[in-house]
Amino acid sequence: MASPAIGTGTGNIQTAAGSTNAESVTITTPTDAVTNDLLIAYVQTAVAKTVTSTGWTSIAASTASSGNHEVEAFYRYHDGSSGTYAFAWTGQGNTPCMGAMVRVTGAATSSPIDVSAVKNDNGFTTSQVAPSVTTTVAD
């Protein structure tokens, strides 16, 4: 089995920016995605919110220590339809937001996320250290 690969280049990554007064952000499926590709979505809100989307599984979430933004990652397998997905925090108030989605080819067909980690906010600086993880299975 080939190792999983994140799609790069035109059509493999989609981004979306919400308005400054939104209760959701909508992200379009990467145009090069095919049935059973693993889709990974990333959503950030300017204020801590509980982000949800039908059919997506949360990987990890992180809220800034000051409570001034939320970052959450989700996954699902592509069902072959092209379209858009809304990530919402309806009823929790409006906030600026953004999102991105990538496709991963060659991922496991079940339980694709072995381990994950979140980085707690330490402010907006040009030097950030990503958390480390150690996988427990191959690929």
pLDDT digits (tens, 9 = 90+) for 75-105: 999 998 878 898 988 777 888 888 889 998 8
pLDDT at 72 over 70: yes
C-beta atoms surrounding 16 within 10 Å: 19
- pLDDT value of position 39: 93
- Model's pTM, two decimal places? 0.81
Q: Under 8 Å CB-to-CB from 136, ≥6 apart: which residues?
A: 114, 115
102 within 8 A of 39, measured Cβ to Cβ: yes
pLDDT at 135 over 70: yes
Q: What is the mean pLDDT of residues 115-125?
A: 67
